[in-house]
């Protein structure tokens, strides 16, 4: 049983959810606005947050931000529409545990919720690396990734894993740990994006009683908890300058100093850092210390996006996630239909493996036969570009309309040529992805 804060403005839906969660022995408190959500967080402690993205006075990310001030910050799940998957990706970067797309399927929610609560427990100090199903992939790009993981694993060098959200950086870090001589010791993952400036030092290095208001007793930090093992710093670019200085010292001198304490403590941890951003750019912008960058960057591994992994990996991963969801949900699903595979191959997966896992899990939940078909896909994934064309007003004869019609036609052509790989299409069109998305929205192309 967990105490859950649900922030959702649709009252009918929130009542339904509340009833459903209560039936599963959870205690639920419902708030309808960002303001109410933040004020509830100030007064009470919750084990999990369930946040609607669009709220009348703002969005769920604002509540998420306020939750980072809590020690420890509770895991949060964002509920969002499929079209807002990019927002969800942003939420994950800000420390959300996961997202689910609306309309929310209660069984799916329960699954994600239990996973979040389980993971919360695992993250408590001294947790060993939990067993996990790591799929290597079989395309050339995936082989290269695994080769690098194997190569660095037996050493003690610091590693930066760079890749888009949901590409499997934490999984890659766990793999390095499991293949290393530290495998028998703890693997501790810290989501630096989820820590406030104030809490980050105490979370990493610990504190002594009385160090600040609320420090009621000595607390060991994660450096000590991971002793002999591996510390995974996710979204390392989010650490404040002050914490970066302390981290550098910990890495260089292998000693840490708990907040408010005078006695240095020796540490022995291997650091693996992950980032979505190009940290070097952050160095140039002055938001990330250059000396720390070099210290962390003893070896850098690019974790490929799902688009880059190629079709055979897409099949491999979707089979894996389908089987995984079928086992978890006790359903007899054998696979996905050919039509679904075709749609998958045209979609560009901005949320990468996490999004593929979420989409397949939902499909397994909704499927009634042995094969999950097109009808179980989120509707937005099944719209063809030519369907949009028929909805558009007829092309005018003025120059502006002609130019736009040409532009639209050209974008569609390039999208087709690239099999709807939007990154590649943007490259070919010599525009950035955001511009391409804007133009697609303008012309009603939404594959
Ligand atoms: N190699 C893999 N084999 C099987 N599943 C994987 C693998 N990599 C990732 N996944 C799945 O994708 C999900 C997201 O992976 P992970 O959390 O490692 O991504 P990430 O890159 O660290 O994300 P973020 O940047 O948002 O922190 C995992 O929970 C898991 O379900």
End-to-end CA distance of the chain: 40
User: 109-139: per-residue pLDDT in tens?
Assistant: 888 898 888 876 655 443 344 456 889 998 9
Helices vs strands, H then E, count in the chain: 20, 16
User: 251-310: per-residue pLDDT in tens?
Assistant: 999 999 898 988 889 999 999 999 988 899 999 999 999 999 999 999 999 999 999 998
| CB of residue 92 inside a 6 A radius of ligand 1 | yes
Q: What is the mean pLDDT of residues 30-51?
A: 94
Report CA(180)–ligand 1 centroid distance (Å): 20
| CB of residue 134 inside a 6 A radius of ligand 1 | yes
Q: Report which of 170, 210, 162, 207 is spatially closest to residue 188, judged by C-alpha positions.
A: 170
Cα–Cα distance for residue pair 91/99, rounded to 1 Å: 8
User: 65-95: per-residue pLDDT in tens?
Assistant: 899 888 788 999 999 887 777 777 878 877 8
Sign of the torsion angle spanned by Cα atoms 358, 363, 366, 367: negative
The protein residue whose alpha carbon is closest to atom 7 in ligand 1 is: 168
**292 φ/ψ sector (left φ>0, alpha ψ -120 to 50, else beta):** alpha
Alpha carbons within 13 A on the beta-carbon side of 291:
10
- Strand spans (E) along 238-282: 255-256, 265-266, 270-275
| CB of residue 362 inside a 6 A radius of ligand 1 | no
The protein residue whose alpha carbon is closest to atom 24 in ligand 1 is: 165
Q: What is the mean pLDDT of residues 5-22?
A: 91
Name the least confident of 106-110, 151-155, 285-289: 106-110
Q: What is the mean pLDDT of residues 339-352?
A: 91
Domains of the chain, earliest start first: 3-122 (3.40.50.2300), 140-302 (3.40.50.300), 308-375 (1.10.8.60), 385-442 (1.10.10)
Mutating to test ligand 1, I would choose from 78, 150, 168 the residue with most ligand atoms within 8 A of its C-beta, which is 168
Provide the percentage of residues in the chain whose pLDDT is more than 70.
92
Report CA(405)–ligand 1 centroid distance (Å): 40
| DSSP 8-state symbol, 300 | E
Contact 60, 52 (CB under 8 A): yes
What is the model's pTM? 0.76
The CA angle 291-292-297, to the nearest 5 degrees, is 100
| DSSP 8-state symbol, 105 | P
Highest mean pLDDT among 229-238, 324-333, 418-427, 436-445: 229-238
| CB of residue 354 inside a 6 A radius of ligand 1 | yes
User: 388-433: per-residue pLDDT in tens?
Assistant: 444 444 445 566 677 777 888 888 888 877 767 788 888 888 787 8
Cα–Cα distance for residue pair 365/357, rounded to 1 Å: 12
| CB of residue 276 inside a 6 A radius of ligand 1 | yes
pLDDT, mean over the chain: 87
- Amino acid 390: pLDDT: 40
| CB of residue 165 inside a 6 A radius of ligand 1 | yes
- Amino acid 155: pLDDT: 94
387 pLDDT above the threshold of 70: no
- Amino acid 447: pLDDT: 61
Report CA(233)–ligand 1 centroid distance (Å): 15
384 pLDDT above the threshold of 60: no
The protein residue whose alpha carbon is closest to atom 8 in ligand 1 is: 168
Cα–Cα distance for residue pair 78/360, rounded to 1 Å: 18
Report CA(323)–ligand 1 centroid distance (Å): 16
Report CA(354)–ligand 1 centroid distance (Å): 6
Q: What is the mean pLDDT of residues 219-247?
A: 92
Cα–Cα distance for residue pair 366/317, rounded to 1 Å: 19
- Amino acid 131: pLDDT: 55
Report CA(357)–ligand 1 centroid distance (Å): 9
- Amino acid 122: pLDDT: 58
- Amino acid 121: pLDDT: 63
| CB of residue 91 inside a 6 A radius of ligand 1 | no
User: 166-185: per-residue pLDDT in tens?
Assistant: 999 999 999 999 999 999 99
Report CA(30)–ligand 1 centroid distance (Å): 30
Report CA(247)–ligand 1 centroid distance (Å): 25
List of residues 6+ apart from 230 with CB closer than 8 A: 129, 173, 176, 177, 180, 182, 185, 186, 187, 188, 269, 270, 271, 272
Q: Which ligand 1 atom is the nearest neighbour of the CA of 89?
A: 26
């Amino acid at each position: 049983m967990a105490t859950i804060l649900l922030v959702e403005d649709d009252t009918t839906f929130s009542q339904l959810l509340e009833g459903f969660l209560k039936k599963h022995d959870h205690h639920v408190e419902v708030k309808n606005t960002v303001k109410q959500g933040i004020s509830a967080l100030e007064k009470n402690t919750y084990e999990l947050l369930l946040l609607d993205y669009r709220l009348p006075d703002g969005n769920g990310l604002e509540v998420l931000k306020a939750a980072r001030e809590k020690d420890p910050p509770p895991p949060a799940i964002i509920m969002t529409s499929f079209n807002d998957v990019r927002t969800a990706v942003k939420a994950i970067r800000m420390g959300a545990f996961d997202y689910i797309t609306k309309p929310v399927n209660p069984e799916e929610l329960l699954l994600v919720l239990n996973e979040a609560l389980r993971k919360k427990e695992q993250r408590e100090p001294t947790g060993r690396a939990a067993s996990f199903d790591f799929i290597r992939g079989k395309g050339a790009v995936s082989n290269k990734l695994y080769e690098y993981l194997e190569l660095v694993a037996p050493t003690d060098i610091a590693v930066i894993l760079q890749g888009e959200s949901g590409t499997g950086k934490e999984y890659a870090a766990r793999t390095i740990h499991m293949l290393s001589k530290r495998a028998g010791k703890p693997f501790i993952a810290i989501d630096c994006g989820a820590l406030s400036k104030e809490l980050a030092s105490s979370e990493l290095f610990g504190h002594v009683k009385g160090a600040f208001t609320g420090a009621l007793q000595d607390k060991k930090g994660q450096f000590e908890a991971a002793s002999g093992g591996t510390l995974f710093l996710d979204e390392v670019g989010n650490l404040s300058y002050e914490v970066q200085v302390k981290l550098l010292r910990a890495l260089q001198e292998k000693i840490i100093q708990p907040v408010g304490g005078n006695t240095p403590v020796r540490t022995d941890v291997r650091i693996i850092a992950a980032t979505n951003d190009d940290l070097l750019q952050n160095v140039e912008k002055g938001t990330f210390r250059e000396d720390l960058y070099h210290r962390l960057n003893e070896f850098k591994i690019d974790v490929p996006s799902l688009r880059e992994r190629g079709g055979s990996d897409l099949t491999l991963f979707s089979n894996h996630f389908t089987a995984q969801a079928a086992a978890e949900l006790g359903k007899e699903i054998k696979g996905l239909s050919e039509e679904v595979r075709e749609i998958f191959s045209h979609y560009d997966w901005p949320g990468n493996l996490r999004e593929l896992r979420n989409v397949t899990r939902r499909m397994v939940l909704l499927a009634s036969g042995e094969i999950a078909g097109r009808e179980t896909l989120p509707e937005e994934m099944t719209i063809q570009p030519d369907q949009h064309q028929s909805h558009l007003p007829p092309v005018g004869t003025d120059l502006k309309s002609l130019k736009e019609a040409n532009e639209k036609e050209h974008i569609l052509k390039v999208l087709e040529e690239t099999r709807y790989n939007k990154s590649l299409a943007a490259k070919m069109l010599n525009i950035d992805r955001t511009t391409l998305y804007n133009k697609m929205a303008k012309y009603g192309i939404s594959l």
